[in-house]
Amino acid sequence: MAINKKISKNTSDELNRSHYPVIQNVCYCLRNTAQCYLPLLCLCVIAILINVTLLVLSTYLTKIIIEKITSKSSLTELITTVLAFAGCIAILSGANKFFTKFIYHQKYKMNTYYLKRVALKGLTTDYNNQENGIFRKLQTESFACCNGNYSPLSNIYDVLIDLFTGVLGLSVFWTILVRLNWWIIIFLIATTAISYSLNQKIIKWTDENNHERISYLQRIDYINRTAGDIRSAKDIRLYHMAVWFSDIYQNNMDGLSGWYKRLTGRLFHVAIYDKFS
């Protein structure tokens, strides 16, 4: 991530940038969270346990109902069992929604920590770096990486919750899977591997084309700031630059819309595959 990139002070034209692997960025995020706001990690662990429990209860509910019917249990016993499971599932679903929203709120505390780190980097770096376009681009990317609930750094928590929920859930379901036909297991493994490969292609495409999105955002942000700058107001009106700014703004908005349209198309194809696999 841009926040983890090293800045060289020896040149104003080029910057030494280290590309860190995903696991290193995840460890960086977890290490800072543990140091600055440990309760957020505890909340994530609670969310994982709730999700796994919901999966187990939802799976075994059907199994227990079938067993009760085949064993010719009384209607009262069947209804009691269903209500007990349904009540637990309802309570845990409500708790899951609560913790999901609560974690969103708590992530803002880590966002402000990262934003402060990025701002301090800009304030304390060498002046040559401030004049460097690459540094300013990295600065913009760094702010985007940690600003908002859907920023990459914030999404790390959600991804880890889903990942560990899947791992723990699979370990619990393994007792069921070993009883299935091996061809079914092979099919599940194959579809999962294909889904993972498709998602990796989307991540790779986003990483390779992210500079295009950032360039559109930078130009749009510049026009927004210039339009509200009182020092530029006179020149804009004197040289009739309003129409020119408007055309540039529209072109960049069209380019940004096209970028997201291409991304949405790729995500849509993966979503269709996941739905029917």
**What's the DSSP call for residue 125?**
S
Amino acid at 73: S
The pLDDT of residue 148 is: 73
Per domain, the residue ranges of the chain are 1-179, 181-277
**What's the DSSP call for residue 15?**
-
Which tops the pLDDT comparison, 11 or 110?
110
Task: Say if residue 1's pLDDT is above 80.
Answer: no
For residue 148, give every residue at least 6 positions away whose Cβ sits within 8 Å of its Cβ, in sequence order, or none.
111, 154
- Select from 262, 133, 153 the least CA-distant residue to 208: 262
The pLDDT of residue 256 is: 92
Q: Alpha-carbon Rg of the chain, whole angstroms?
A: 25
Place of tokens 């790779």: 204
149-166 average pLDDT score: 83
On whether the CB atoms of residues 136 and 3 are closer than 8 A, the answer is no
Task: Say if residue 218's pLDDT is above 60.
Answer: yes
pTM check: above 0.85: no
223: left (phi over 0), alpha (psi -120 to 50) or beta: alpha
Amino acid at 60: Y
Task: Say if residue 40's pLDDT is above 60.
Answer: yes
146-166 average pLDDT score: 82
| Minimum mean pLDDT range among 12-16, 116-120, 173-177, 209-213 | 12-16
What are the structure tokens assigned to 151, written together? 């920023």
Residue pLDDT, tens place only, 45-75:
999 999 999 888 887 888 788 888 888 888 8
The pLDDT of residue 252 is: 93
Give the span between the Cα atoms of 68 and 52, in whole angstroms.
24
**What's the DSSP call for residue 9?**
S
What's the half-sphere exposure (Cβ side, CA atoms, 13 Å) at 140? 18
